[in-house]
Each structure stands twice: as structure tokens, then as C-alpha cells.
Amino acid sequence: MNNCINPSKFTFYFFTLSNLHIHSKLPDVGTTIFTVMSSLASELNAINLGQGFPDFPMNEDLISLVNEAMKKGFNQYVPMQGYMPLRECIAEKISFLYNTTIDPAEQITITPGGTYAIYTALTTVLQPGDEVIIFEPAYDSYIPNVVINKAKPVLINLKFPEYKIDWEEVRKKITPKTRMIMLNSPHNPTGTVLREEDIQQLRSVVANTDILILSDEVYEHLIFDNLQHQSIIRFPDLLQRSFVCFSFGKIYHCTGWKLGYCISSPIFTKEFRKVHQFNCFSCNSPTQVGLSKFLQHKTAYLALGKFMQEKRDYFQQLMSATKFNALPSYGSYFQVYDYSRISDESDTEFTLRITKDFGVASIPVSVFYKSGKDDKVVRFCFAKKNETLEKAVERLIKI
């Protein structure tokens, strides 16, 4: 036998391969704008205020705690539900912040990030044909997560320019097939937050129905102007029908860690873990151990809102020298700006042009709508070093 490939076998192998194909479960999905804008920004050496990640260093103490955990040997699997001391600290924080008792054994599951928690919750619940109410503009994973589960996204626009929920429209869109309502506060991309009256409306909409709630609270502490975060966890009657999803990466400025958690009722958590245990099974151990120590410092999480508010205020103050008009941001990493005084291009054309010609990347808000609704607004991420914000605005002033 020599090592040469038998040509007839090779042809057969090739022929078979070319006949292999898969039916895309997400035929409408391509590369996301975040990847497009980030690669364009790095190709052109532009300042990236597009994608939502901080460029300043994360907390040194947290790094040391994770390092210490690795050195002490916390490098093997932790339980599928998550490292118990971390779950206990989360329960304690919730009791302190929201005055709600959560059982760390039966209601908290540590996940590899907020996006995974959301996907797992939807996969746990949805059956083909179920309807899920999604408010747009919406974080880009929601619709594909619903579609991949053969359920139907029912889209409702937040009322522009305040980006408020139109509860009358929600009532009109409820059908016997409505299985879930997805909420996100503080909100990406707009920085709006749910108010007490939204919670009252939500209560009345779901009363006497079997509608569930998915509450994406990955920007939990990043809320400004002394507003209170209307976490679903504050409301036990709503919590019993909810999956509430969080992200350590977002709040502790380490988005690359991809660690988060989901809180739900014991019954729902049991089902959630059935999906989770055969997907990820167990999340990164040393980060869980480090966070379990770090979470005991209340001052660290209580300071996060003020820290990010200062970023928003500084960026807004710098931007007042440009022709952009700020729409209010009350939380998250983001603020939306209207550019209608500058151009009547579509928001996608506009963001591509300012990235190329002025060296600042942003995200067109139309990409957060399935229909591509274009209100001539773009999203900037202000979770950046002051010097990055200054350099970016020096360029934006020239437009």
C-alpha cells in the first residue's frame, strides 16, 4: 500500500461531501452589525464606541481574588447549579437590595453569561407556535432565540423618542398563544428603564393568564439619577412567573468573563437546569470563587451606578459641542443620539461613513428592529476611559 490517495475514492468522497447540506435553523441571520462595526473599527483604527465593552481596567481586587482561587486549586468542576457560596452571596445581596428571600439551592443557577441564561430560559419554556412579545429596539439575541425554538416573536415598538412601552398595544397583541413577555431594564440600546407604573401595567396584563416573563437585568446596578431599579425580583407575585437574567461581566467591567445567573421559582429552576446541565453543565470555577468573596463588599456594587453615571454625564457634556442631539439615558452603557441636524442619510450609511471618514464607530439603532425602522439615531457606548471619550468627541465635533 502506498500513501497516495486513490483518485476514484477521492472523487466519491468529494461528491458525497458536496451533497451534504443542513437546513439552516436561522436562515435570516447573518453576521451581526457589532462584528461588522468592530472589525471595521479595528481595520481603520477608529475609536470603537459601537460595541458595548469597557476599555478601562476592571477592579484589581477582583482579579486578585480570582488569581488566589486558581492558586488555591479551585480549578475543577463546581456543581452544575453553580458554586454554593456564590449563590448564597447572591441571595444575601437580593435580600439586602430588594427585600426578597431567594433560596440559593433551588432558585439560582450560575450560567456562562446573561445571553446564555436568556437562551436557556426560552428553550426551557417554548413550544412550537408559542408567541413571545418582544419590544423593539431589542437586544439582538432575542428574536433568533425565539425562532430557533419554533416559537413566534410578536414585535412591539417602544414609543419613540421616549422609548416607553405602549401597554395598550401590548393588551391588543395578547392572544391565547402568548407564552411570554420579554423585558429589558436598564435597556440596550436606549438606556431607558422600567418605572413603577410599568410594573403596575405588567401586573394587570398578566393577571389571570399563564403568561411568563423573561426579565433581562444584565445592567442591574447601572442605573442613574437616583432612580430605583424595578427588578422583577422586588415583586414576588411577578417573580413566580419569571426568569430573571443577570451578568457579572456587564456590571463588573469584565465582559469577556461571560458569567451570569438566572433566578426563577423552584419549579421553573428545576426545568431550567435540565436544559443547562446538558449544554454547559458547570461554569468557570475560579471566577465563581473570586466573585463569592467580592460580592461581600457592598460598597463595590453600590458604587457602580454613580461611576457609570459620571461616564454618561461626561460624555453628554462633551457631546454638547457637536451637532448630535442626546436622547435621555437613565441606565446601561449606552446613549442614543439623533443626527438629523447633520445628515438625512440612513443610520447605517451614516455610521459607516463616520467610521470611515471621522474614525469613530457607533451602532445604527435600526439594526435593533426586525423591520429596520430608521429614526435617524445612533447608539454610542460611554463605558470608556475619559480619554477615549475625549478623543472620540474631538473627531465628532468636526462632522
Which of 98, 139 has the CB closer to ligand PLP? 139
Q: Tell which phi-psi region holds residue 113, choosing left (phi > 0), alpha (psi between -120 and 50) or beta.
A: left
Residue 388 engages ligand PLP in binding (rule: CB under 6 A): no
Q: Which of 107, 178, 188, 242 binds ligand PLP (CB under 6 A)?
A: 188
Q: Closest separation between CB of residue 330 and ligand PLP, Å?
A: 14
- When the beta carbons of 192 and 309 are compared against ligand PLP, the nearer one is 192
Query: Which one of 104, 113, 137, 286 is in contact with ligand PLP (CB under 6 A)?
Result: 113
Of 134 and 327, CB closest to ligand PLP: 134
Task: Find the shortest distance in angstroms from Cβ 253 to ligand PLP.
Answer: 12
> Between the CA of residue 126 and those of 122, 131, 180, 372, what are the distances in Å?
6, 9, 9, 26
Q: What is the 3-state secondary structure (H, E, C) of 69-103?
A: HHHCCCCCCCCCCCCHHHHHHHHHHHHHHHCCCCC
Decide whether 358 or 369 has the Cβ nearer to ligand PLP: 369
Of these, 87, 221, 250, 312, which contacts ligand PLP (CB under 6 A)?
250
**Residue 174 in grid coordinates:** 395578547
- d(Cα 382, Cα 186) in Å, to the nearest integer? 15
The CA distance from 55 to 130, in Å, is: 40
Q: Does 255 bind ligand PLP (CB under 6 A)?
A: yes
Binding residue (CB under 6 A) for ligand PLP from 50, 54, 191, 249: 249
What's the closest the beta carbon of residue 176 comes to ligand PLP, in angstroms? 29
Site for ligand PLP contains 284 (CB under 6 A): no
Q: How many CA atoms lie within 13 A of 169 on its CB side?
A: 13
- Which of 130, 131, 136, 216 binds ligand PLP (CB under 6 A)? It is 216
Q: Take residue 21 and report the three cell numbers written for it.
A: 447540506
User: Closest CB to ligand PLP among 130 and 216?
Assistant: 216
Residue count at the site for ligand PLP (CB under 6 A)?
15
Is 377 strand, coil or helix?
strand
Among 50, 54, 82, 114, binds ligand PLP (CB under 6 A): 114
Judge contact between 252 and 58, C-beta under 8 A: yes
Please, are residues 133 and 181 in contact by the beta-carbon 8 Å criterion?
yes
Q: Considering the rule CB under 6 A, would residue 220 count as an interface residue with ligand PLP?
A: no
Give CA–CA dist 182/94, Å, rounded: 21
Angle made by CA atoms 318, 320, 325, in degrees to the nearest 5: 125
CA distance 93 to 2: 68
Question: In this chain, which of 81, 109, 178, 184 binds ligand PLP, going by CB under 6 A?
Answer: 184
User: For residues 254 and 110, what is the distance between their CA atoms, to the nearest angstrom?
Assistant: 16
Q: Among residues 318 and 363, whose Cβ is nearest to ligand PLP?
A: 363
**Which residue, 114 or 359, is less far from ligand PLP as judged by CB?**
114
Give the whole-angstrom CA distance, residue 80 versus residue 69.
Answer: 19
Q: Applying CB under 6 A, which residues contact ligand PLP? A: 52, 113-115, 139, 184, 188, 216, 218, 247, 249-250, 255, 258, 260
